[in-house]
Amino acid sequence: MNIQKFALTAAFVATTAAIAGSAFADARYPVDAPFVSTKTRAEVVAELTQAGDEGRLNYSHTLYPNTPAVASTKTRAEVIAELTQAGDQGRLNYSHASYPVTSEVASTKTRAQVRAELAAANVDTDQQLTGSN
């Protein structure tokens, strides 16, 4: 008898849940209620402007102080000249300029001498790989 009551209760609960689920599936949450404003667009814009002037808005440009634009006192040519000079002195801090500037070293050998050394090195390497002398 207990098993029958349990089965009947389980069937009732399953049926109730199915009916309730289908009823809730059609309902929208939150309920869409039409919004009707009581203010005009001009009134809303005026309130927004006033809130911004009083510092009551909480978004990006109102969180930081306004910095005025600064006009440059140098010409473009002067700026480029300063940049070139700083690069030559190794004072720029980006990519290739972040490493110490090394002076260029002129080779003391001719092109023919370098090729001869390279050929000799290749022959030695080939002999080491094959084990021949």
pLDDT, tens only, 43-82: 999 998 898 888 777 666 555 666 677 788 999 999 999 9
Instruction: Say what the pTM is.
Output: 0.24
pLDDT at 13 over 70: no
- Select from 32, 48, 51 the least CA-distant residue to 40: 48
pLDDT of residue 51: 86
Counting residues of the chain whose pLDDT is more than 90, the rounded percentage is 19
What is the rounded average pLDDT for all residues in the chain? 74
Query: Residues 18-24: what's their mean pLDDT?
Result: 57
pLDDT of residue 94: 64
